[in-house]
């Protein structure tokens, strides 16, 4: 994900902190709220005592290999020792996204802020449709206690869809992503701009499942390319 695209997604998440006027008087559906509360209970996350970690890193970016190290602080800030600008930025932004999704969030201060409702029972393979009624027109598909699809707008010019194809076990009853795709579209259901297919693995160190690897295949106007990293010799900062 490029810096500009990542910034757009972060702005989307910030915008989602407030409700559109039309949703302020909507009452949440108790069944939708219970469904999403169960999703939160099944997410593998890092607790408030997360100490941060360091690891050696091997990075593959556009057919070249780089080596260095990474540090994720207790505040989830990511730094690397890579000197090459483009692969360093890709690694830092990718890790920031991964560790950000591991930060524990209570349902009540996350998606529970919105007046959730259920879509029709349409037999979709990704599960039941959950509408958030937030400022970014977000919706989820939920199956077996997991979000299997995310749809969200980033202003008028961009929409993206995340499809979770496979998950992996964390602690008992909790799950981590393994394989997923991200598709970017112009506007509301417009022309496909770019797709990213990602495969991730994690390694348990102490009480925490830490990122071990990612392989990412990108297809966009002008061609296809790939990037990835492998982390080794993880150690917690305390």
What string of DSSP letters covers 118-156? E------TT-EEEE--STT--EEEEETTEEEEEEEE-SS
Contact between residue 178 and residue 170 where contact means Cβ atoms under 8 Å apart: no
Question: What is the count of structural domains for the chain?
Answer: 1
Domain membership of residue 213 as a residue range: 3-236
The kind and range of the H/E element at 90 are helix 85-102
DSSP letter at 27? P
pLDDT for residue 27: 95
Residue 13's pLDDT band (cuts 50, 70, 90): very low
Is residue 15 pLDDT above 60, yes or no?
no
Mean per-residue pLDDT over the chain, rounded: 91
Instruction: Give pTM, 2 decimals.
Output: 0.87
- The predicted pLDDT at position 23 comes to 55
Whether the pLDDT of residue 87 is over 60: the answer is yes
SS3 state at 206: coil
Average pLDDT over every residue of 109-130 = 97
Q: For the purposes of burial, counting CB atoms within 10 Å of the CB of 174, is it exposed (0-12), middle (13-18) or buried (19 or more)?
A: middle
The pair of three-digit structure tokens given for residue 25, joined into one six-digit string: 């008087």
d(Cα 104, Cα 41) in Å, to the nearest integer?
10
Q: How far apart are CA 116 and CA 142, in angstroms?
A: 13
Higher local confidence (pLDDT), 63 or 10:
63
Cα 82 from Cα 64, distance rounded (Å)? 13
Cα–Cα distance list, 200 to 11, 52, 173, 180 (Å): 25, 19, 19, 9
Our CA dihedral for 24, 136, 125, 199, rounded to 10 degrees, sits at -140
Q: pLDDT, tens digit, for every residue of 147-163?
A: 999 999 988 889 999 99
The per-residue pLDDT for 188 is 64
């Amino acid at each position: 994900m490029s810096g500009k695209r990542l910034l757009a997604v972060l702005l989307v998440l910030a915008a989602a902190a407030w409700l559109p006027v039309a949703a302020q008087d909507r009452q949440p559906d108790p069944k939708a709220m219970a469904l999403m509360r169960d999703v939160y209970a099944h997410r593998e996350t890092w607790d408030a005592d997360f100490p941060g970690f360091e690891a050696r890193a091997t990075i593959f970016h556009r057919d070249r290999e780089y080596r260095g190290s990474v540090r994720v602080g207790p505040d989830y800030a990511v730094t690397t020792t890579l000197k090459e600008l483009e692969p360093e930025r890709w690694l830092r932004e990718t890790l920031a996204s991964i560790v950000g999704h591991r930060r524990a969030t209570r349902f009540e201060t996350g998606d529970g802020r919105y007046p959730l409702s259920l879509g029709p029972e349409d037999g979709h393979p990704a599960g039941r449709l959950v509408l958030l009624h937030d400022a970014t027109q977000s919706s989820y598909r939920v199956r077996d206690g997991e979000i299997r699809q995310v749809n969200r707008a980033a202003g008028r010019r961009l929409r993206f869809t995340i499809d979770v194809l496979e998950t992996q076990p964390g602690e008992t009853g909790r799950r981590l992503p393994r394989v997923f795709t991200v598709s970017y579209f112009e506007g509301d259901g417009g022309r496909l701009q770019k797709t990213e297919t990602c495969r991730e693995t994690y390694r348990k160190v102490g009480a925490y499942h830490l990122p071990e690897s990612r392989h990412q295949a990108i297809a966009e106007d002008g061609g296809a390319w790939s990037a990835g990293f492998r982390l080794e010799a993880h150690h917690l900062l305390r």
